[in-house]
Amino acid sequence: MAALVTFESAARHENFSRAAKEMAISQPAVSRQIAGLEKQLAVRLFDRSPEGVTLTAAGAQFRDAVKAGLSVIQAAAVKASLFPHGEQVVIACSEDSSNFFLLPRHHALQAALGDQTEVRIITFPQHFGQLPAHSPADIVLTWEASIDTDDYVVIHEESAGPVCSPEFASRHRDLLELPVSDWDALPFLELARANLGWVSWDDWFRTAGAPEIAPRFKQFDSYSYVLNAAIHGLGIAMGWRHYIEEHLESGALVPLAGGFATFGNRFCGMLTAQGRSKPEAQKCVSLLVDRS
């Protein structure tokens, strides 16, 4: 099972190093697991070259089957552990939304719904526009741009802006006091994945002014990595206010260039067909809506 999960990550990225980061293991460990799978299956799943790896035809076919199989297993695992003596609300979202948005609110959400309703969270590596088949989710949290229906509730308007550690701000005080057009010598941190609706650095530069020379970007595979890099003083991150409230309150991150701005993007909750029949799911979505 570990080899299959690792293969799915490596196949999705077509990059063993990125798979290693996502799986929190070493790159040689990824290579060993893939080699073990290829030996067991007696087929080559990846073509290797000095430039990197690419899926073979057999690898692409196996990737699709593994992805579908893991989705069914994940859904079955959730169903197998259903709350036995009460109602349950199942929320599906990305790992980042779970870590930075839902978990800080989980206790208050559970308290508001009461002891007879359990809040369960299903996470996926990134945001998505369509749930896998057989999903037990009642609510889907994602960006409006990835939703293909009008049946959703806006949880909050996106509010974002550049943030960094206090140490980074102090070390680069002279540059940061200049207009953004003069920030080209500073490192910027960003997600190395397709944008599914959230504000990008290009969006922010259009409102605040872009560096005259193309800035240096450091890319990371998850928002957790982006924030950790910023907290450790490696550069400037795009901070989503609803994701980083705890870091702002603790002083681990400080806003730059006037703070946060809205860009018209919206983070939403969508009730599935199953969720629409549950009053607890409808109440849960209402409780998540930002009323500030």
pTM, entire model: 0.64
Cα 225 off chain centre by: 10
pLDDT at residue number 263? 85
CATH of domain 82-292: 3.40.190.290
Strands 187-191 and 216-220 come out as parallel
Q: What six digits make up the tokens of 21?
A: 């980061």
What DSSP state is assigned to residue 180? G
pLDDT (tens digit, 9 = 90+) per residue, 151-195?
A: 788 998 889 999 999 999 999 999 999 999 999 999 999 988 766
2-79 and 82-292 in the same fold: no
Q: Work out the average pLDDT over 25-37.
A: 92
pLDDT at residue number 164? 98
- Percent of the chain exceeding pLDDT 70 equals 90
pLDDT at residue number 70? 86
Contact present, 122 and 90 (Cβ < 8 Å): yes
Kindly provide the residue ranges of all beta strands, DSSP E only, lying in the chain, ordered along the sequence: 46-49, 52-55, 87-94, 117-124, 139-143, 153-164, 187-191, 216-220, 236-240, 254-255, 261-271
Where are the chain's structural domains?
Answer: 2-79, 82-292
Q: Work out the average pLDDT over 139-151.
A: 76
CA 95 – CA 12 distance, rounded (Å) = 16
CA 265 – CA 130 distance, rounded (Å) = 19
pLDDT greater than 70 at residue 54: yes
pLDDT greater than 70 at residue 82: no
Residue 248 CA neighbour count, 13 Å, CB half: 17
Q: Identify the three-state secondary structure at position 258.
A: coil
In this predicted structure, which of 1-5, 20-24, 93-97, 197-201 has the lowest mean pLDDT?
197-201
Contact present, 165 and 253 (Cβ < 8 Å): yes
CATH 1.10.10.10 fits 2-79, yes or no: yes
Q: What is the mean pLDDT of the chain?
A: 88
Q: Work out the average pLDDT over 203-224.
A: 89
pLDDT (tens digit, 9 = 90+) per residue, 231-246?
A: 999 999 999 999 999 9
